[in-house]
């Protein structure tokens, strides 16, 4: 198991599509709900769609909250996707409010009422706010696929790696140390989305991005 990519299985709706995307750019990941697999992983990906309360309940029921927290605290490579980003924050106002993993300082809030439809669903641009190996080779203003009704507010704005405009300007990619996360779905975002997975895997293994077109 050592040296493997682990996709956390807590019944997330995009679990299989994330695993397939990882397999396309690197190798078949280990899809697992076993805390021991997280401890032995080379890198961990937390997918997710749906509600914060359901996500945290499913993680708790499988005894995954502390293993994920310990893995991240140890400085090991971690990628969150969509709800996997939101779960990293301190708290979400969804429903009656939900305490989350507390890895990224800030909270998750609902889009304000406006003429724009909620959920924010479809393609939108992301503007990079700083350089990072995770986004290497992807042009500013590239389009990615979003499906969400809530968005992150950072206590430390410098943790934003990419920003998107949808009625408000919000951080759609965050990065802190060994952790990167996207509010959009790279696995549904064509070649640029696959490039993000490839960059994450290469950054995790070698600390630098791979050339465009490379598969590993």
Is 100 one of the annotated active-site residues of the chain?
no
Is 115 one of the annotated active-site residues of the chain?
no
Catalytic residue (one of 94, 100, 120, 187) = 187
DSSP at 43? E
Residue by residue, DSSP assigns 131-191 as --GGGTT--TTEEEEEEESEEEEESSGGGEEEEEEESEEEEEEEEETTEEEESSBGGGSHH
Measured CA to CA in angstroms, residue 71 lies from 6, 36, 76, 98 at distances of 12, 11, 6, 22
d(CA 128, CA 88): 20
d(CA 98, CA 136): 34
Catalytic residue (one of 23, 82, 93, 136) = 82
- Within a 10 A sphere around the Cβ of 196, how many other Cβ atoms? 27
**Paired strand residues for 166:** 168
Is 206 one of the annotated active-site residues of the chain?
no
Catalytic residue (one of 100, 136, 148, 185) = 185
Pairing of strands 179-182, 168-176: antiparallel
Assign 38 to helix, strand or coil: helix
* Residues involved in catalysis: 82, 185, 187
């Amino acid at each position: 198991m050592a040296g493997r990519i682990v996709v956390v299985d807590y019944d997330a709706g995009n679990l299989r599509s994330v695993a397939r995307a990882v397999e396309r750019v690197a190798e078949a990941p280990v899809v697992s709900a076993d805390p021991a697999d997280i401890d032995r992983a080379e890198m961990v990906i937390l997918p997710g769609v749906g509600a914060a309360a359901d996500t945290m309940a499913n993680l708790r029921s499988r005894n995954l909250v502390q293993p994920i927290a310990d893995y991240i605290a140890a400085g090991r490579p971690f990628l969150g996707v969509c709800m996997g980003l939101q779960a990293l924050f301190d708290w979400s106002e969804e429903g009656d409010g939900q305490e989350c993993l507390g890895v990224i300082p800030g909270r998750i809030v609902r889009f304000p009422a406006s003429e724009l439809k909620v959920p924010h669903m479809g393609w939108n641009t992301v503007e990079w706010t700083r350089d990072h190996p995770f986004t290497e080779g992807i042009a500013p203003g590239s389009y990615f696929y979003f499906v969400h009704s809530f968005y992150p507010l950072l206590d430390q704005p410098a943790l934003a790696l990419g920003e998107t405009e949808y009625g408000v300007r919000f951080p759609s990619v965050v990065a802190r140390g060994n952790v990167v996360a996207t509010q959009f779905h790279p696995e549904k975002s064509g070649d640029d989305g696959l490039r993000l997975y490839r960059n994450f895997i290469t950054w995790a293994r070698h600390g630098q991005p791979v050339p465009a077109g490379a598969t590993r």
